[in-house]
Structure 1
């Protein structure tokens, strides 16, 4: 008999750097006898220690921690890799515990784990290079006007001052013939746990 999702809870501790997330996550982990999984993309890397507010050795010893110092900056690692790896890890942890703590910093990584990523088509490198060249020649206003023309829905919500976001959306449209907004999920993916969000300030 399958267990209900409601029996497994992922307590997501979010908030800015130096907001007390680490200490609070450790208190929760000790209270519930739970493990802590990091969703802070800078804490994954062994070589990144400045400005990342990584837990100290003393803090790491107070509760089981996962996905801290687990990678080298030489390794390629995407948010999709995190989603797959963290889901596999949670599956193992939830076999022993009903509660796991997710200590977050990176909103995209938290969303990927709790709701799933939107799936976009593969974009040929040449197509992206072409749009980047147009940006270099014609500037940001060209990207803004082009996106407003081909995908007004996404244009309303995107950060229009961020050329990388605009280039990505235009490239997806040119490669697929479909607007970028059409690939974004309306529905969250089912997860075998219930997220509980706590925001530190």
Structure 2
């Protein structure tokens, strides 16, 4: 019986060590990597997204890094369609493909499919992003709680993109966003091995602080300045850029900006861990346990062959 096609998912919080591990796995299994990081798609965002360098990718093909311009609004639904096409193409010559990232929604899109949500007019998205800029996230959260308390009770309302998306559907349809989220997971024509990485909390937080210092040395502030015309874009309403934009606006000084960058990045990592622990059926490994992960992939692949 032929070996089944296998998608190995490597998920986990920011700075946990996904890139290094995936490069090692890709070389070991002679395959390619699909990035499911919702900000690394954009060519203009490099330093603030910790986008892997050519040296870090070490010759391993990585898809959906620098694949789009910030001018393009690239949704999870579009990524689902495009990523599945690339995965199918790689499976023509490989038995294993690696999907990796910290964006849970984009990983879910590939593994399970997304609900058939209604399209909303760009004007409404623009209006909500303008409100976000003027009134802050709390204003949108408050309105969403009134329109869809069920969704708010179950989801992370610190995720700006999700709040805006849920709110625009509520406003356009006059129905709760949660009422559209009843679709059963799609059965994919390949097996999926969901793996999530973790580190001791203090070690992870230290890595996050060191990464942020490295970003600042490499020119995060200058990169953010070049992105000011796009500051209302969803990809920039996130940790790593929003704090710098507020610094530009004079809300606080440089040292406070650095403190907030580190604090908010740590909080973001905590929310990522919570999401992955409550979504799906991830097998958890220490980020350093390369041999254990290889053994797990081999074991499950052979079990289904």
**Shorter-chain-normalised TM-score: which range?**
0.7 to 0.9
**Counterparts of 2:40 and 2:165 in 1: how far apart (Å)?**
27
Alpha-carbon spacing, 1:83–1:164, altered in 2? closer, same or farther (3 Å): closer
Contact 1:144 1:160 in 2 (8 A): no
Decide which of 8, 11, 19 is 1:11's aligned counterpart.
Answer: 8
- 1:145 deviates by 6.2
Contact 2:140 2:164 in 1 (8 A): no
Range with greater deviation from structure 2 (170-179 or 107-116): 170-179
Q: Which ranges of 4 or more aligned residues in structure 1 deviate by more than 3 Å?
A: 122-130, 139-142, 158-179
Tell me if 1:40 matches 2:28: no
Give TM-score scaled by structure 1 length: 0.76
Q: What whole-Å deviation, never above 9, does each CA across 1:64-121 have from its counterpart, x for those lacking one?
A: 2211122222233222221111111011011111100112121111111111111122
Alpha-carbon spacing, 1:152–1:95, altered in 2? closer, same or farther (3 Å): same
Report SS of the residue matched to 1:74: coil
Structure 1 unaligned segments of length 5 or more: list them. none
Where do 1:77-88 residues align within 5 Å? 77-88=74-85
Alpha-carbon spacing, 1:58–1:174, altered in 2? closer, same or farther (3 Å): closer
Give TM-score scaled by structure 2 length: 0.53
Pairwise CA RMSD: 3.3
Tell me if 1:49 matches 2:57: no
Range with greater deviation from structure 2 (10-19 or 156-165): 156-165
Alpha-carbon spacing, 1:42–1:119, altered in 2? closer, same or farther (3 Å): same
Higher helix share: 2
Structure 2 unaligned segments of length 5 or more: list them. 199-305
Show the counterpart of 2:19: 22
Report SS of the residue matched to 1:101: strand
Larger relative contact order (C-alpha < 8 A, sep ≥ 6)?
A: 1
Range with greater deviation from structure 2 (191-200 or 79-88): 191-200
Alpha-carbon spacing, 1:166–1:193, altered in 2? closer, same or farther (3 Å): same
Show the counterpart of 1:143: 143
Q: What whole-Å deviation, never above 9, does each CA across 1:142-190 have from its counterpart, x for those lacking one?
A: 626633xxx5533432456778766755653554454322210341012
**Counterparts of 1:164 and 1:187 in 2: how far apart (Å)?**
23
